[in-house]
Structure 1
Amino acid sequence: MVPFSILDLAPVAEGCSVADSLAMSRKMAIAAEENNYLRFWLAEHHGMAGVASSATSVVLSHLGSATNTIRLGSGGVMLPNHSPLVIAEQFGTLAELYPNRIDLGLGRAPGTDMQTARALRRNMDAAVDSYPEDVLELQRLLGNESQGIKAVPGFGTNVPLWMLGSSLYSAQVAAEFGLPYSFASHFAPDQLIQALTLYRRHFKPSEQLTKPHTMAGVMAVVADTDEEARFLFTSAQQQFVNLRRNGNKPFPRPVDSMDTMWSSSEKYMVEHMLQYAVVGSKASVAFQLSSFLDTTQVDELIVSMPIHDSEARLKSLKLMAEVRDSLVK
Structure 2
Amino acid sequence: MSSHSYKRFNGIPLSILDLAPINEGSDPAQSFKHTVDLAQAGERWGYKRYWVAEHHNMPGIASSATSVVIGHIASATQTIRVGSGGIMLPNHAPIVIAEQFGTLESMHPHRIDLGLGRAPGSDQATAYALRRTLHSSPDDFPEQVEELQAYFEGNARVHAYPGEGLSIPIWLLGSSGFSAQLAAAKGLPFSFASHFSPDYTLPALHLYRSQFQPSAILDKPYAMVAVNIFAADTEERAKWLATSQQQQFLSLRRGQPTALKPPIDNIDEVWSVTEKHAVEQSLLSPATIIGTKETVKAKLNAFLEQTEADEIIVNSQIFHHNDRLRSFEIVSELME
Structures share fold, TM-score greater than 0.5: yes
Instruction: Find out whether 1:263 has 2:268 as its counterpart.
Output: no
1:245 equivalent to 2:257? Answer no
Q: 8 Å contact 2:191–2:223 — kept in the other structure?
A: yes
The CA deviation string for residues 176-202 of structure 1, in whole angstroms up to 9 with x for no partner, is: 111000000000111110110111010
Please, what is the CA RMSD of the aligned residues? 0.9
2:186 and 2:39 mapped to 1: Cα distance?
30
| 2:191–2:224 CA contact under 8 A, matched in 1 | yes
1:73 aligns with 2:83: yes
TM-score (norm 2): 0.95
Residues in 1 aligned to 2:265 and 2:136: alpha-carbon distance in whole angstroms = 46
CA contact (8 A) 2:231 2:330 kept: yes
Q: In 1, distance between residues paired with 2:202 and 2:135?
A: 29
Does 2:230 correspond to 1:221? yes
Mapped pair 1:109 → 2:119: yes
- Please point out which of 202, 216, 220 is paired with 2:211: 202
Q: Deviations over 1:39-82 (max 9, x none)?
A: 00000000100000000000011101110100000000000000
Give the partner amino acid of 2:27. Answer: S
For structure 1, the 5+ residue unaligned runs are none
Render the CA deviation track for 1:108-149: whole Å, top value 9, x for unaligned: 000011100111013334242321011011111112x34421
- For residues 17-47 of structure 1, give each alpha carbon's deviation from its aligned partner in whole angstroms, at most 9, with x where no partner exists: 1100011101111011001100000000001
Cα deviation per residue 1:203-224 (whole Å; 9 max; x = unaligned)? 0111111110001000111100
Give the C-alpha shift of residue 323 in structure 1: 2.2
Alignment of 1:1-329 (within 5 A): 1-143=11-153, 145-275=154-284, 276-325=287-336
Cα distance in 2 for residues equivalent to 1:97 and 1:27:
21
Q: Is the 8 A contact 2:147 2:156 kept in 1?
A: no
Identity %: 51
Contact 2:248–2:257 (CA under 8 A) maintained in structure 1: no
Letter paired with 2:320: D
Count of matched residue pairs: 324
Alpha-carbon separation, structure 1, partners of 2:210 and 2:32: 40
Residue by residue, what CA displacement relative to the aligned partner does 1:74-95 show, whole Å, maximum 9, x if unpaired?
0000000001000000000000
Q: Which amino acid aligns with 1:272?
A: Q
Shift of 1:324: 3.1
C-alpha separation in 2, matches of 1:273 and 1:250: 19
- Letter paired with 2:222: H
Q: Which TM-score applies when normalising by structure 1?
A: 0.97
- Structure 2 gaps of 5+ residues are 1-10
CA distance in 2 between counterparts of 1:272 and 1:125 reads 33
Query: Stretches of 4+ moved more than 4 A in 1?
Result: none
